[in-house]
């Protein structure tokens, strides 16, 4: 009889650590454990994201050690510490720091523990239990009830009540319905969805299957960014494994429920994160949004009722069905239930993935869990929600982070990207960066966005180079208002947010550029403004060069 495993060595093989050659670390540790004769008692395997990306490559053990910055040549040192409850030495990472202790994991409960390429490990961690329970003991409307009770809201940033969306699609008439997973995580600074797909892909498949059962869909699409090749690979493997094990495809788990999942690759268009543009892309067309109503829940892909949810939303579904909607609703705040995964990056000591209950404050996330701003510099701003979001200043650090609180400050929580900005940055430059992004990603269909973003961007360039006037500021206010209220879709409607929030909290920096013709942070080059339209999309004609 084989001896029971006494220990397990886990090497992060998500994209961040892989870019630092963690696959070689995995190979050398496997060899090292064998060489020490411990192969029978200690398994060495690749796992998903361990969270603290800035300290990678990361290696952890089942007994409780965590090692940072591991190189292939460090195998012997780690093997020598196997079995210890606490790591010591130059590679040791303290497992008691707030980064690890203060998190509450639902979405990331398996990340860093299971091998993402082995369905057996997902199943051993209660994977597909929820699907089995749903298919054998629950009616579709009972599933919708649980999701509604849970209070889960769309994690892509919109915050629409998930149960309500599911109920709408379930009630919609028609023989064909579809379920889509929006994995087009285009927000610069966001990598939550990428990590979930690389670290625990079956979780998303299970969530989609449960959603399909609840709404009456038979086919699902996962629309995933082409810039995420590792996520695509792991998803393809997971779909194949699920099909081979009767967890996807025809007669799932021996029931009459059929559900297939196909992947659709994006091609580098930020606007395709918007529901209707995403649908256009799935249909093989240019990613142009269309007016709503009708909403995708009534008329979506191929004109059929379509459920579209974000990766993280689906990742919450299986736990909700396993533990009940009430359990989920007991976490978080009154209107924002459950946890949220944040991608903490920028000028902060601990960059990586953080999952906390809704309602944690910015200060807790950035200063305690994140370890604060390094290099002796001061925190100047926190940027949340990607280009659709906004910047808040140090004065707002005690605001709780959920769907509704940040909105009062003019910003949004968004999909979870959280960038920390220190006093070496210029907020006019940051606003210009985001509007340039929106301008270049504008699909070109509607004039307010297509032309408005170009003009907002030129005004910002003018101000940044010290050539702006007070009249330019009023014009900027007017333009932002127009673009926000008259654009066809969320991209244009939220494009001015970075300008609006920086004008609200950092107006003094704009005034310094205008009145003193100087950049307080020393970032902007005075007297060097790019001519309008240079390096950018043309004003007329839409699309790109």
Partner 1 sequence: MSAEGSKPAPPSGDKRWRIVEATMRRVGYDPSGLIEALHSVQETFGYLDDASLRFVAHSLNVPQSRAMGVATFYHYFTLKPPGKHTCVVCLGTACYIKGSTAILDAVKEKLRVGVGETTPDGRVSLLTARCLGACGIAPAVVYDGDVAARQTRDDALKRTNEWMREDA
Residues that bind partner 1 (CB under 8 A): 15-16, 18-20, 53-54, 56, 185-191, 194, 225-228, 264-270, 281-287, 343, 345-347, 351-353, 383, 386, 417, 419, 421, 425, 433-434, 437, 441, 443, 535, 543-544
Its sign, for the CA torsion 339, 340, 342, 348, is negative
Q: Which is nearer to partner 1, 266 or 325 (CB)?
A: 266
* Contacts (Cβ under 8 Å, ≥6 apart) of 175: none
Both tokens assigned to 484? 């926000």
As a whole number of angstroms, the distance between CA 240 and CA 238 comes to 5
What is the smallest separation between the CB atom of 267 and partner 1, expressed in angstroms?
3
Residue 412: exposure state from Cβ atoms within 10 A (0-12, 13-18, ≥19): buried
Helices (H), 260-398: 275-282, 311-323, 325-329, 362-363
- Residue of 317, 215, 309, 321 whose CA lies nearest to 259: 215
**Burial environment of residue 89 by CB neighbours within 10 A (0 to 12, 13 to 18, 19 or more):** exposed
User: Which of 28, 442 has the CB closer to partner 1?
Assistant: 442
Closest contact distance (angstroms) between CB of 419 and partner 1 is 5
* Residue 15 or 495 having the CB closest to partner 1: 15
Cβ at position 127, least distance to partner 1 in Å: 24
Among 193, 203, 270, CA closest to 231: 193
Distance from chain centroid for Cα 365: 16
Q: Which is nearer to partner 1, 41 or 264 (by Cβ)?
A: 264
CB of 54 to partner 1, least distance (A): 6
- Which residue, 143 or 369, is less far from partner 1 as judged by CB? 369
- What is the separation, in whole angstroms, between the first and last Cα of the chain? 67
Write the CB contacts of 103 (distance below 8 Å, at least 6 apart in sequence).
51, 354, 355, 356, 369
Cα–Cα dist 333/330, whole Å? 8
Q: How far is the CB of 73 from partner 1 (least distance, A)?
A: 18
Q: Smaller CB distance to partner 1: residue 267 or 407?
A: 267
Q: How far is the CB of 345 from partner 1 (least distance, A)?
A: 4
CB of 212 to partner 1, least distance (A): 20
392, 381 contact by CB (below 8 A): yes
Angstrom distance (rounded) from CA 389 to CA 478: 19
Contact 233, 194 (CB under 8 A): no
Which residue lies nearer to partner 1 by CB, 259 or 437? 437
* Shortest reach from residue 490's CB to partner 1, in Å: 17
Integer CA distances (angstroms), 123 to 191, 528, 530, in order: 25, 59, 56
CB of 302 to partner 1, least distance (A): 8
Question: Least Å distance between CB 149 and partner 1?
Answer: 33
Of 433, 435, 428, 455, give the one whose Cα is nearest residue 511: 428
Q: Which is nearer to partner 1, 318 or 491 (CB)?
A: 491
In terms of CB distance, is 147 or 353 closer to partner 1? 353
The smaller minimum CB distance to partner 1, of residues 253 and 263, is found at 263
Shorter beta-carbon distance to partner 1: residue 215 or 351: 351
Helices (H), 10-139: 15-18, 22-35, 75-79, 98-101, 119-124, 129-137
Shortest distance, CB of residue 202 to partner 1, whole angstroms?
A: 20
Neighbouring CB atoms inside 10 A of 440's CB total 16
What tokens appear for 84 in the block?
Answer: 């210890």
CB-nearer residue toward partner 1: 118 or 286? 286
Residue 468: which of 504, 433, 518 has the closest Cα?
518
Minimum gap (Å) between residue 84 Cβ and partner 1: 27
In angstroms, the CA 185 to CA 388 distance is 13
Minimum CB separation of residue 474 from partner 1 in Å reads 28
Residue among 73 and 543 whose Cβ is closer to partner 1:
543
Contact 365, 187 (CB under 8 A): no
């Amino acid at each position: 009889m084989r001896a029971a495993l006494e220990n397990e060595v886990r090497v992060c093989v998500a994209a961040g650590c892989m870019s630092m050659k963690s696959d070689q670390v995995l190979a050398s540790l496997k060899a090292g454990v064998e060489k020490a004769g411990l192969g029978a008692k200690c398994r060495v395997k690749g796992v998903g994201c361990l969270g603290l990306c800035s300290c990678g490559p990361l290696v952890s053990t089942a007994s409780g050690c965590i090692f940072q910055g591991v190189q292939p040549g460090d195998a012997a040192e780690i093997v020598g510490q196997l079995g210890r409850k606490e790591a010591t030495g130059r590679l040791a990472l303290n497992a008691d720091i707030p980064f690890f202790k203060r998190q509450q994991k639902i979405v990331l409960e398996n990340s860093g523990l299971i091998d993402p390429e082995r369905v057996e490990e997902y199943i051993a961690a209660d994977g597909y239990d929820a699907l089995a329970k749903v298919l054998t003991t629950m009616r579709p409307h009972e599933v919708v009830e649980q999701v509604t009770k849970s209070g889960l809201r769309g994690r892509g940033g919109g915050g629409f009540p998930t149960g309500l969306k599911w109920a709408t699609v379930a009630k919609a008439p028609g023989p064909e319905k579809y379920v889509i997973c929006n994995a087009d995580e285009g927000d610069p600074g966001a990598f939550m969805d990428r990590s979930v797909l690389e670290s625990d892909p079956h979780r998303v498949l299970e969530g989609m299957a449960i959603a399909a059962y609840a709404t009456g869909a038979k086919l699902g699409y996962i629309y995933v960014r082409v810039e995420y090749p590792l996520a695509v690979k792991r998803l393809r493997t997971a779909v194949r494994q699920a099909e081979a094990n009767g967890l996807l495809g025809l007669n799932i788990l021996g029931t009459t429920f059929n559900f297939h999942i196909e992947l659709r690759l994006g091609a580098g268009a930020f606007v395709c994160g918007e529901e209707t543009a995403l649908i256009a892309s799935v249909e093989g067309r240019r990613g142009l949004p269309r007016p709503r109503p009708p909403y995708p829940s009534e008329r979506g892909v191929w004109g059929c009722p379509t459920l579209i949810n974000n990766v993280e939303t689906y990742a919450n579904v299986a736990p909700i069905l396993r533990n009940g909607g009430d359990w989920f609703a007991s976490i978080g705040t009154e209107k924002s239930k459950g946890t949220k995964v944040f991608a903490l990056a920028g000028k902060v000591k601990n960059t990586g993935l953080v999952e906390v209950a809704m309602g944690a404050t910015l200060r807790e996330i950035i200063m305690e869990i994140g370890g604060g701003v390094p290099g002796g510099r001061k925190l100047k701003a926190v940027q949340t929600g990607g280009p659709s979001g906004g910047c808040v200043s140090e004065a707002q650090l005690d605001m709780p982070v959920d769907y509704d609180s940040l909105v009062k400050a003019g910003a949004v929580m968004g999909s979870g990207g959280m960038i920390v900005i220190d006093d070496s940055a210029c907020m006019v430059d940051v606003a210009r960066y985001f509007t340039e992004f929106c301008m270049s990603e504008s699909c070109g269909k509607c004039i307010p966005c297509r032309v408005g973003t170009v003009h907002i961007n030129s005004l910002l360039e003018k101000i940044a180079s010290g050539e702006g006037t007070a009249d330019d500021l009023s014009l900027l206010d007017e333009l932002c208002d127009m673009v926000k209220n008259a654009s066809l879709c969320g991209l244009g409607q939220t494009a001015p947010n970075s300008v609006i929030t920086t004008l609200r909290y950092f107006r003094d920096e704009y005034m310094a550029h205008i009145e003193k013709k100087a950049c307080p942070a020393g970032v902007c080059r005075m007297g060097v403004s790019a001519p309008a339209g240079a390096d950018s999309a043309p004003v007329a004609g839409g699309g790109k060069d």
